[in-house]
Structure 1
Amino acid sequence: MPVPLQRDPHRTREAITQWLADRFPAEGTPTIGALSTPDETGFSGETLLCDVKWNHQGRSLVRPLAVKVAPARHHLLPDSSWHRQVRLQELLATTDVPVARIHGSESSGELLGAPFVVMERIDGRVPGDIPSYHRSGWLTELRAADRAQVWNGGLQLMARLHRLGPDTLDLSFLDDPAHGRAYGPVGMRRQFGACMAHLEFYGVQDDPVVLRAADWLRDHRPEEPGPPRLLWGDARIGNIIYSGHTPVALLDWEMATLGAPESDLAWYLFTDRYLSEGLGLPRLPGLPGRRETVATYASLLGRPLRDFASYEVFAAFRFSLITSRVTRLMTGTGIQWPSGRTPYLRSAALLARVLDEAGEASCPG
């Protein structure tokens, strides 16, 4: 959900200027231009865009920067993952997975009211969530073949992430007790346990569709053989920067965890389904469908997908929890929903549909 710039621009520029001057004294005196926010900024955090000019020994240098501020008011998830996502992004910058390079981070909230990270700003464009990229925006203006390139390019980068060997990076910080070891072994079992422990936080502890899905998932959690892989968590084309039709960077590591690649692919598919079918919109021609996407990803992984229906139900279940939280937070700001069709009601209806499909697929004959 886009969040407009709500802080005082002058004071914010002063704070960032002070931080840059203290952090990079050898660069000279920085001057920060106008602040803006991207159209795709998340509801729970802020991203501030600016051009910074340094004058040093008669030399002028301009750098486009992005300043991402940790959530201070709206927390979509029950556990803070700010420092973990910053650390992960720094680690990924040493791999062939394209992410924005971090110039530095601030762990205190003294300057901007919350911790923040300063990173390079990558030029490009991102498919929008509001309004859905199925309704308007640059994807609607592309040829069908170009849309397929956008979709499959995202799959290729996600597979690059999943192909990182378990020993490639030290990801033990994603497996610490505070992050959920008490909920069981890594993978869907832990993620499901964490969701169930926080139903009240999401406001769905008495919701019949959510509880029905929870019962189904208890009976259909996969074994997940093999070593766990790094998962993006919020895997979707709306978290990818594209240059033309080519993906150039993955964004947003707030939900990163360890588990099976099927989990990311199911989220990739379900979030797209919500932004089309869930909102009553026709899906854009050219975007590969479920069957083709599953086949493509199996080829990229080099193995068949396992128990994929379970991951699809879990994606729909988890998405409903998050949209319930978003709905409650946004309603608290006074937002009125047309015809009462809140994001949660739409996602819950789609969750029920996914459950019905999973039940039909499991029936003999």
Structure 2
Amino acid sequence: MSVPLQRDPHRTREAIAQWLTDRFPDEGTPTVGALSTPVETGFSGETLLCDVKWNHRGGRSLVRSLAVRVAPARHNLLPESSWHRQVRLQELLAATDVPVAGIHGSETSGELLGAPFVVMERIDGRVPGDIPSYHRSGWLAELRPAGRAQVWNGGLQLMARLHRLDPDALDLSFLDDPAHGRAYGPVGIRRQFGECLANVEFYGVQDDPVVLRAADWLRDHCPEEPDPPRLLWGDARIGNIIYSGHTPVALLDWEMATLGAPENDLAWYLFTDRYLSEGLGLHRLPGLPGRRETVATYATFLGRPLRDLTFYEVFAAFRFTLLTSRITRLMAGTGIQWPNGRTPSLRSAALLARVLEEAGDVACSP
């Protein structure tokens, strides 16, 4: 879901124009067009879309389509801000073969827009929607089954490309934040799980029996991660990919990026799709590869068998329930009416219980 426009449009356009003038004084005078927000996705933080026209001396003009992403000011989905880390990561990824939106510049203060922001190129394309779910309606639902498979597998290919990057060569040590993360152990699943446990009150799930049962299961089954940690997208799903036709052209949203095992991203990719279909009482779109086919395909892309995927799927369901609980609380004051009172947190908790039942007490394996 997109964050509603939280500020005065006229003043916001003036502030963006001022920033562009200061940042690019040789470009001429910028005129910022109407602001809009993407309708398909994006909750934590505002994304403002606009066209900007520069009038140069001699009558020449230049028009650029920009996306201005503003750090969360009120809708804080995560307990600690990762804003500066995600901007830095996107700048580094722009020099790799992982496609991301190019960054024109960023502002670290909140003087102009009330929060830090980054100005990026706006990439033409379309994104599978969260609300309504792409399993219910939208351009993905209108494709033929073969086209849907291309969309799904194209996302897997880009994710594997990300996982093949060398974190040391990119100098991603800033993702290993000593300020708070190391209190929960070395990078990887134990730290991520530890951070979740330390913030159950922030998410509002400290008394949720399904969440507590899942936490016990995860403690009992937490695997070792024998390989060096890789760069993880964090919010890995087709709803965070811009597509041109059936082809992915950019990965979005690095707020949850971290270091760890690729299985973590794949489990999130699978679970978020399951939530947007089964979790919402919808039939999954024909043509989208199922779990078994997806696992086999991704193992081929990754170049090794997947390990302990059942564990990572339970962890994905657990963490997703924490996040949807937080979203439900944040949206409580906006007047949204959930059908039959079935809030995202109730739906995700129900699906978490189902995932736990399926996992049972068996050894974690694909």
* TM-score between both structures, scaled by the size of structure 2: 0.97
Give yes or no for contact 2:41–2:129 (8 Å, CA) kept in 1: no
1:203 is aligned to 204
In 1, the alpha carbon distance for the partners of 2:270 and 2:63 equals 39
1:308 aligns with 2:279: no
1:29 is aligned to 29
Shift of 1:2: 2.0
Shift of 1:337: 2.1
State the AA in 2 paired with 1:32: V
In 1, the alpha carbon distance for the partners of 2:6 and 2:161 equals 37
2:165 is aligned to 164
1:71 is aligned to 72
1:185 aligns with 2:186: yes
In 2, the alpha carbon distance for the partners of 1:130 and 1:215 equals 32
- Residue by residue over 1:69-102, the C-alpha shift from the partner in whole angstroms, topping out at 9 and shown as x without a partner, is 0000011100100000000000000100000000
1:55 is aligned to 55
Give yes or no for contact 2:68–2:118 (8 Å, CA) kept in 1: yes
1:177 match: secondary structure: coil
2:45 is aligned to 45
1:299 is aligned to 300
2:241 is aligned to 240
1:353 aligns with 2:321: no
2:91 is aligned to 90
In 2, the alpha carbon distance for the partners of 1:336 and 1:315 equals 26
In 2, the alpha carbon distance for the partners of 1:139 and 1:41 equals 14
Give yes or no for contact 1:51–1:63 (8 Å, CA) kept in 2: yes
Q: How many residues align?
A: 363
Shift of 1:166: 2.9
Shift of 1:331: 1.2
1:318 is aligned to 319
1:299 match: secondary structure: helix
Shift of 1:43: 2.0
State the AA in 2 paired with 1:239: N
1:129 match: secondary structure: coil
In 1, the alpha carbon distance for the partners of 2:93 and 2:108 equals 20
In 2, the alpha carbon distance for the partners of 1:46 and 1:167 equals 31
Shift of 1:165: 1.6
Structure 2 counterparts to residues 115-130 of structure 1, below 5 A: 115-130=116-131
- Residue by residue over 1:189-213, the C-alpha shift from the partner in whole angstroms, topping out at 9 and shown as x without a partner, is 0000000000000000111100100
Unaligned runs of 5+ in 2: none
State the AA in 2 paired with 1:341: R
Give yes or no for contact 1:44–1:71 (8 Å, CA) kept in 2: yes
In 2, the alpha carbon distance for the partners of 1:123 and 1:19 equals 24
1:134 match: secondary structure: coil
2:20 is aligned to 20
In 2, the alpha carbon distance for the partners of 1:41 and 1:11 equals 25
1:105 aligns with 2:100: no
State the AA in 2 paired with 1:202: Y
Shift of 1:40: 2.4
- Residue by residue over 1:313-361, the C-alpha shift from the partner in whole angstroms, topping out at 9 and shown as x without a partner, is 0000000000000111111333232212110110000000000111065
In 2, the alpha carbon distance for the partners of 1:87 and 1:139 equals 32
2:51 match: secondary structure: strand
Give yes or no for contact 2:279–2:351 (8 Å, CA) kept in 1: yes
State the AA in 1 paired with 2:21: A
Give yes or no for contact 2:41–2:239 (8 Å, CA) kept in 1: no
In 2, the alpha carbon distance for the partners of 1:291 and 1:344 equals 27
Shift of 1:167: 2.3
In 1, the alpha carbon distance for the partners of 2:104 and 2:167 equals 26
Give yes or no for contact 1:33–1:52 (8 Å, CA) kept in 2: yes
State the AA in 2 paired with 1:44: S
1:178 match: secondary structure: coil
Q: Which runs of 4+ in 1 moved over 6 A?
A: none
1:150 match: secondary structure: helix
Give yes or no for contact 2:33–2:52 (8 Å, CA) kept in 1: yes
In 1, the alpha carbon distance for the partners of 2:111 and 2:239 equals 31
1:72 match: secondary structure: coil
State the AA in 1 paired with 2:51: D
Give yes or no for contact 1:41–1:47 (8 Å, CA) kept in 2: no
Structure 2 counterparts to residues 256-275 of structure 1, below 5 A: 256-275=257-276
2:210 match: secondary structure: helix
2:140 is aligned to 139
In 1, the alpha carbon distance for the partners of 2:349 and 2:162 equals 30
State the AA in 2 paired with 1:45: G
In 2, the alpha carbon distance for the partners of 1:63 and 1:157 equals 26
Shift of 1:270: 0.1
In 2, the alpha carbon distance for the partners of 1:176 and 1:329 equals 27
CA-atom RMSD in angstroms: 1.1
Give yes or no for contact 1:44–1:73 (8 Å, CA) kept in 2: no
Give yes or no for contact 1:237–1:268 (8 Å, CA) kept in 2: yes
* TM-score between both structures, scaled by the size of structure 1: 0.98
Give yes or no for contact 2:41–2:131 (8 Å, CA) kept in 1: no
Give yes or no for contact 2:235–2:256 (8 Å, CA) kept in 1: yes
Shift of 1:55: 1.6
In 2, the alpha carbon distance for the partners of 1:297 and 1:25 equals 47
1:63 match: secondary structure: strand
* Structure 1 residues 134 and 49: alpha-carbon distance in aligned structure 2, compared to 1, 3 A threshold: same
In 2, the alpha carbon distance for the partners of 1:332 and 1:38 equals 21
State the AA in 1 paired with 2:122: R
In 1, the alpha carbon distance for the partners of 2:111 and 2:40 equals 26
Give yes or no for contact 1:79–1:179 (8 Å, CA) kept in 2: no
In 2, the alpha carbon distance for the partners of 1:177 and 1:353 equals 36
